[in-house]
Amino acid sequence: MIKLTPAQLREYETQGFVLAPGVFPAGELSELDREIDRLEAPAAADAPHRGWVMSLAQRSEKTRAFAQDERLLALIEEIVRPGIAIYSAKLTAKPPRSPEVCHWHQDDAYYIQNSSSRTRMSVWVPLQDATPENGCLWVVPGSHRAGLQEHVTRPDGQCRLSMPEPLVDLSKAVPAPARAGSVLLFSALLWHASKGNATDGKRRAFIVSYQEASTVGGNGAQWKILRPAS
């Protein structure tokens, strides 16, 4: 079972994110990818969210098991505590040649509408190599330390609740490419976004957001305590 090293843990604490390579074998991810093919809604009317699957852990036995996988919990157990609960799980997607962007935001701008958490964070698990060309995440290192910022609702894009971009300093934004098999861990306060997919391949990511088990409530019925607080 891979755990974060002290250096990776420090990186998470100072930068608000860290990449853990080589957590899942390629064969397992292909199997998960085929499961998503099965679950994916037929071309949704809501074009920006084409290929997304919400409440993912509730959609099948395989996706439920993945969101609770001990390999993910071993990576986050020094960060999310006491105990571990699922806040929500979803599949985000960028179909081939899709221009849809996810605007700059902090996940907690959405999540605090349901509950407040001290340690909330997400694992972002790419099912294909995620690159700047196909729409990997972009992040502002260290931005989580400034706390929750103002957000506005935008009429477009994959993430409608967004930081008011002209007012936000994005000069330190960097891409966070991640190979399939790796896991990107990031704080619910980290400023992040993703751009369009300019390639002929799809880009999918399985995202699970976790919080300490002592916080009551998550995203509706998705909230699930995996390891009790004591």
Ligand X SMILES: O=C(O)CCC(=O)C(=O)O
Instruction: Please give the full DSSP string across 167-184, using - where no structure is assigned.
Output: GS--TT-EEE-B-BTBEE
Nearer Cβ to ligand X (157/214): 157
Min. distance of Cβ 204 from ligand X in angstroms? 9
What is the C-alpha to C-alpha distance for residues 88 and 131, in angstroms, rounded to an integer? 25
Min. distance of Cβ 55 from ligand X in angstroms? 13
Amino acid, res. 54 = M
Nearer Cβ to ligand X (92/187): 92
Phi, psi of 225 (to 5 degrees): -80, 125
Nearer Cβ to ligand X (12/52): 52
Min. distance of Cβ 52 from ligand X in angstroms? 8
Which has the closest alpha carbon to 127: 76, 179, 164? 179
Min. distance of Cβ 111 from ligand X in angstroms? 10
Task: Look at the alpha carbons of 64, 69, 75, 78 in this order and tell me if their dihedral is positive or negative.
Answer: positive
Nearer Cβ to ligand X (151/192): 192
Nearer Cβ to ligand X (36/83): 36
The two three-digit tokens of residue 186, written as one number:
């990031």
Min. distance of Cβ 154 from ligand X in angstroms? 14
Q: Please provide the distance, in angstroms rounded to a whole number, between the alpha carbons at the two ends of the chain.
A: 22
- 89 to each of 13, 14, 66, 131, 150, how far by Cα in Å? 23, 25, 10, 22, 24
Contact positions toward ligand X, by CB under 6 A? 92, 102, 107, 135, 159, 192, 194, 205
